[in-house]
Amino acid sequence: MTSRRPLALLALPAAAVLTLAGCAGGSATDAGSSGAEGDGTISVVASTNVYGDIVSTVGGDAVSVTSIISDPSQDPHSFEADARTQLEVSRADLVVMNGGGYDAFVDTMLDASGTEATVLDAVEVSGLAPEEDHDEEHAEGEEHADEHDHAEGEEHADEHGHEHEHGEFNEHVFYSLPSMAALATSVADALGEADPDQADTFTANAEAFGEQIADLEAQAAEVEAQHGGESVAYTEPVPGYLFDAMGLVNVTPEAFSEAIEEGDDVSPAALNDTLKLFTDGQVDLLAYNEQTSSPETERVEQAATDAGVAIVPVTELLPEGEDYVSWQQANIDAITAALGE
């Protein structure tokens, strides 16, 4: 956790006593909504609605959350913030971001705003990134950030999911279930510093969220017991950590998925190798990122359809009406059903 300044202590009305049942349905607001001006809540800015929802679940009525990106048509990799979003960041008490280069626009806004808000970086909390990646990120951002604390994440980081097939780090840590449980704990700690009187409630909410995550992890383990070792493919490494938890083996040519993720041209050789996965019957499932479509991904989708390979749509943002747990439950259910076909 990077601390830019201690969070101000905010007095809450007695009616703000929280329970998980009462706050689990809370949703983050869109960018540009009003922050916590005079309403006694802790102002939080999250880079995407995934993190906004987790903050809302932990903080309930004690937080006012702005999620910068909630529209599935917006790509976090290429998002450019406007003046209103910059203002939200400058007024925030807490900023929650993915990190790892995924939402670099947040770093830009933090530098420009001069904010002293506490910053939580999900990649660092997860402990999943190789140490050299941490060192590089610290070196690039040391002018606006102190040493992040990712010890909690190291406890659950394992040999799975740290990197793409050929060594490229997968920054989509929001598909790492234990990482999100650890992030919820960090959020509770940060909010507890803001309002010690509510600290126990924040902790209880984070623990209840962690229990729900543990149930999802148990379901992923059941998938591994039945389908571990089966080969899968994806258009982008978005669900990589969830696949790892299920013991599924990604065989997508890195040259293809990396080009799609970066918005680069896919070489004919990489496209041909990817199409052969389906024509040759090498995979049991294709995860298709619905937020990124191109002629190449459409050809891959068609190849899967022609070969009778199950296609599971995945997203980088919460679908409308979903919270984090229900979103990942739907992903697990869809993958389980596809593998059983």
Taking every pair of Cα atoms in the chain, the longest distance, rounded to a whole number of angstroms, is 64
Scanning 73-198, the segments in alpha helix (DSSP H) are 83-91, 104-113, 122-126, 131-141, 151-154, 177-194
**0.85 exceeded by the pTM?**
no
For 154, the domain range is 2-212
Task: Assess contact for 324 and 53: CB atoms under 8 A.
Answer: yes
Higher model confidence: residue 29 or residue 101? 101
User: 49 with 78, same domain?
Assistant: yes
User: 242 with 288, same domain?
Assistant: yes
Q: Residue range 296-322: average pLDDT?
A: 96
Share above pLDDT 90 across residues of the chain, in percent, rounded to a whole number: 67
Q: What is the dihedral of CA 124, 114, 117, 177, to 10 degrees?
A: -30
User: 27 with 166, same domain?
Assistant: yes
3-state secondary structure of 302: helix
Task: Assess contact for 169 and 130: CB atoms under 8 A.
Answer: yes
Q: Residue range 288-299: average pLDDT?
A: 91
Q: How far apart are CA 85 and CA 76, in angstroms?
A: 14
Q: Final residue of a domain: which of 212, 242, 277?
A: 212
Q: How many CB atoms sit inside 10 A of residue 211's CB?
A: 11
CATH number for 242: 3.40.50.1980
Position 292 scores a pLDDT of 82
Question: Burial, 78: exposed, middle or buried (Cβ in 10 Å; 0-12, 13-18, 19+)?
Answer: exposed
Q: Residue range 87-109: average pLDDT?
A: 94
User: 205 with 232, same domain?
Assistant: no
pLDDT class of 167 with cuts at 50, 70, 90: low
Q: Final residue of a domain: which of 212, 233, 258?
A: 212
- Span 245-282, pLDDT tens digits: 999 999 999 999 989 988 889 999 999 999 999 999 99
User: 203 with 239, same domain?
Assistant: no
Q: Which amino acid is at 328?
A: Q
Q: Final residue of a domain: which of 212, 229, 253?
A: 212
User: 208 with 282, same domain?
Assistant: no
User: 251 with 334, same domain?
Assistant: yes
User: 183 with 85, same domain?
Assistant: yes
> Residue 206: enclosing H or E segment and its boundaries?
helix 199-227
